[in-house]
Structure 1
């Protein structure tokens, strides 16, 4: 499996405001880039916090690109994957509609009634871990299901956990021309933070985009 983390952040490294409200960081060129990137992937992954805050669809926006996927024998949209330890994804969330296949990564601690409700919406449940989702086990199950190239779009807690597990292969960060600020505003990698054994990156490319910069990194192994 190849895991790509992609995020847009402000010049001071914030993903959104301290109230978890999205602020326009990137522009049309970056939106187009992300849509192309989704087209090339087998799945798009987010944490449940992103679903609750933004209700994203995680689908390919361009009808031309969807048609191109179908012509090559793929579904029109990549699968959607939500890391959701306690099965908090609403049953009417956009990620569980009929536009694409959906996988929900839940823990054994997730309430049985919530799991049943989500499964009745045709979401595929992957149970891994006792209290929290065991990402190594869950991502292995996704790979067994045929999802080889995976795009992670947030949020900071999930991204940190993926770095912690050693699952990230590439990191794309768009840094936009704005400052959000706030000690409680989410950053690219939240969670507990590292105190040693820091993940190390190799710089691949930097390019100007939408009055900001797109930075592409690979993980050093």
Structure 2
């Protein structure tokens, strides 16, 4: 499986304000880039915090990309994946509509009625892990379901967990001309944070888009860099 993390951050590395409000960090050129990146993936992944805060659809905006996927024999939109350890995804969330298949990753601790609610809402539920989603095990299940490439869009907890589990192959970051501040504002990679054996990033390209820059990195395998 190939995992690409993509995110837009302020110059001080924030994904949103301290009130967890979604920010317009990039512009139309970057939105188009993200749409193309989504179209190239089998699935788009977010954490449940993003679902609760933004209620995203995670579908494609550009109809030409939808048509291109259809012509290639693919589903019109990539599948959607929610990492949701405690099954907090609302049954009426936009991500559970009929526009694309949706996988919800939960744990063995999830109550049966919550699982049933998600399934009745249209989700394909994958149980992996005891109290916290085991992302490695979940990715194996997703691969068995035909998901070979994932574009992960955040938030910071999910991104950190993917790096912590050595699942990230590429990192793409749009850095916008905005200063957010706030010690409680979410960053690109939250979680517990690394204190040693930091992920090894290899800068591949820098491109100016809108009023910011896109940084593309390859991520070295843990066996090679740690």
Task: State the 1:111 CA deviation.
Answer: 1.7
Cα deviation, 1:189-212, whole Å, max 9, x if unaligned, reads 000001111111000000111110
Task: State the 1:112 CA deviation.
Answer: 1.3
Matched, 1:86 2:96: no
Aligned length: 221
For 1:111 and 1:187, locate their aligned partners in 2 and report how far apart those are by CA, in whole Å: 31
Matched, 1:165 2:133: no
Q: What SS class does the counterpart of residue 187 from structure 1 fall into?
A: coil
1:167-206 to structure 2, matched below 5 A, reads 167-206=167-206
Matched, 1:4 2:4: yes
Corresponding residue for residue 117 of structure 2: 117
Structure 2 length as normaliser, TM-score?
0.97
For 1:207 and 1:65, locate their aligned partners in 2 and report how far apart those are by CA, in whole Å: 22
1:33-182 to structure 2, matched below 5 A, reads 33-182=33-182
For 2:135 and 2:50, locate their aligned partners in 1 and report how far apart those are by CA, in whole Å: 17
Task: State the 1:83 CA deviation.
Answer: 0.1
For 2:36 and 2:199, locate their aligned partners in 1 and report how far apart those are by CA, in whole Å: 27
Task: State the 1:121 CA deviation.
Answer: 1.7
Task: State the 1:220 CA deviation.
Answer: 1.7
Q: What SS class does the counterpart of residue 113 from structure 1 fall into?
A: helix
Cα deviation, 1:164-194, whole Å, max 9, x if unaligned, reads 0000000000000000000000000000001
For 2:110 and 2:159, locate their aligned partners in 1 and report how far apart those are by CA, in whole Å: 21
Task: State the 1:122 CA deviation.
Answer: 2.1
Task: State the 1:57 CA deviation.
Answer: 0.2
Structure 1 length as normaliser, TM-score?
0.99
Cα deviation, 1:36-62, whole Å, max 9, x if unaligned, reads 011110000000000000000000111
Corresponding residue for residue 29 of structure 2: 29
Task: State the 1:67 CA deviation.
Answer: 1.0
- Where structure 2 has 5 or more consecutive residues not aligned to the other structure, the ranges are 222-226
Task: State the 1:69 CA deviation.
Answer: 0.4
Which consecutive segments of 4 or more residues in structure 1 shift more than 4 A? none
Q: What SS class does the counterpart of residue 131 from structure 1 fall into?
A: coil
- Where structure 1 has 5 or more consecutive residues not aligned to the other structure, the ranges are none
Residue range with higher mean Cα deviation, 106-115 or 29-38: 106-115
Q: What SS class does the counterpart of residue 173 from structure 2 fall into?
A: strand
For 1:109 and 1:127, locate their aligned partners in 2 and report how far apart those are by CA, in whole Å: 9
